[in-house]
Amino acid sequence: MQAIKNVVIVGGGTAGWLAAAAIGKIYQGKVSVTLLESDAIGTIGVGEATIPTMMAFHKLVGIPEQEVMRATHATFKLGINFKNWGEIGEDYIHAFGQVGRIFWGGEFQHFWARSQKLGMKAPFGAYCLEQEAARAGKFAICENPVLNYAFHFDAGLYAKYLRGFSESFGVVRQEGKIERVEQDADSGYITRLHLENGYTLDGDFFIDCTGFRGLLIEETLKTGYENWQHWLPCDTALAVQSSKVGPATAYTSATAHEFGWQWRIPLQNRTGNGVVYSSEFADRNWAEKTLANNIDGEMLMNPRLIQFKTGRRKLGWNKNCVALGLSSGFLEPLESTSIHMVTSALIRLLRLFPLRGVQPVLVEEYNRQSREEAESIRDFIILHYHSTRRTDTEFWNYVRTMPVPDTLRHRMDMFVESGMLFLGGDELFRSNGWTQVMIGQGFAPQHYQPIVDNMADNEFRAYMKGFSDHVASNLRLLPNHEDFIAKYCAMEEFKAQPA
């Protein structure tokens, strides 16, 4: 084993500079970090929606939240509004907060299922403050009530912010393009990068952030790719920015269309838009027309075509190279997991970081955790497609009737037949997420935990009303989303009074 002293990150963008920030801060003084990127190579730059795990990463590396908000024109995000996924005309929000309350025998869907049999009309999400706040356009960061939130931000400005943050801890940026990768003749480990400008860059450990190309992990190390397109057939996106029209919503929009879906991400100064679709069922002309007919404001640029293949590298860590971001694989941005998977992989790497040298046991554990995480997120995204009731196009008929992974089929069957959900301890999406999507798309449980019937009908009705009343009273305390952003970015505080 050779001790790791020089870490080389190949590729910038969000993934590269997140890696530089994390390794540069946490292992400051123990390793040197160099990030190689070229101004001549663009980045995808459309990963502009996050999930609440981003807050934990910011705290870990010491990134000030209000500073990021100002630097990236960010808005707050309480969840994702899904339109036309179950049936055309329906919508629901997958919110970040707790729905009702968990009890020893299960989760809140058991109470809700009984309420429906008793004729109570409140939808499942009405018992979640984050959902109601998202619909009402309200938001605040305060202790009572507490809201679980994430961000919408400008990905290009975020990478720029991270560069300045990383360089303050000694990370060095190197401009250049790779001409040739040199490997050790015996081990196959990467040892040196030869640049087109004649420079060479030596390293003990390499982070591949070169995007779909996977310059190190695939072109050099021949790692292999596990294709998931038979479950997730969308393979193309058309992205564009548009001018801001109206107040920024505190949620991302994901609207299903005939052959895919459209995202809408509101920032303080503009809106990010894109159509994700399957080239097997539609073409670019359809995507351009769909995008043009369904965006707010004027287009600020020509739409960018992005082609991808859903799946993952067979190994996220191969020899002395770890792939991050698009280099490691791709799951479409339906649940805004792209940046999370970068930060999650970085935290995993920081825990297993091979300061004393690359050990097979560390590599094996990293790859095991990475595989399980990717597969659980994959199943959750497949759920959105497979649980549709749409029959209007060949695309929706395909995803509705396709065979799905056994892990997902078992979870869906158990939920519909019993209302039960059993999740692994490390899974990203918990019971709140699974229940909101399944119930939102029409997969309501046929039965529920019998212990819920222990309450008399009048007692049960009062119990459920207590939850909805608590949500409503807390909602009244919250300010307007955009008003709060203005104060927050001006470093002002907001304090809600307890409900």
**How many angstroms separate the CA atoms of 153 and 136, rounded?**
21
∠ CA 188-192-196, rounded to 5°: 125
Q: Which amino acid is at 460?
A: F
With 0-12 / 13-18 / 19 or more C-beta atoms within 10 angstroms meaning exposed / middle / buried, residue 444 is: middle
Task: Determine how many CB atoms are found less than 10 A away from the CB of residue 83.
Answer: 18
Which residues does 385 contact at the CB level (< 8 Å), separation at least 6? Answer: 232, 399, 400
The residue among 283, 387, 262 whose CA lies nearest residue 334 is 262
d(CA 122, CA 445): 16
Catalytic residue among 30, 59, 77, 83: 77
Query: 177 catalytic, yes or no?
Result: no
Nearest to 166 by CA among 314, 18, 45, 59: 18
Task: Give the residue ranges of DSSP H helices in 307-429.
Answer: 338-351, 360-386, 394-401, 406-418
Which residues 6+ apart lie within 8 Å of 98 measured at CB? 128, 148, 432
* Half-sphere exposure at residue 306, Cβ-oriented, CA atoms within 13 angstroms: 26
Give the 3-state secondary structure percentages of the chain, helix then strand then coil, rounded to 5: 40, 20, 40
Q: So which residues are the catalytic ones? A: 77
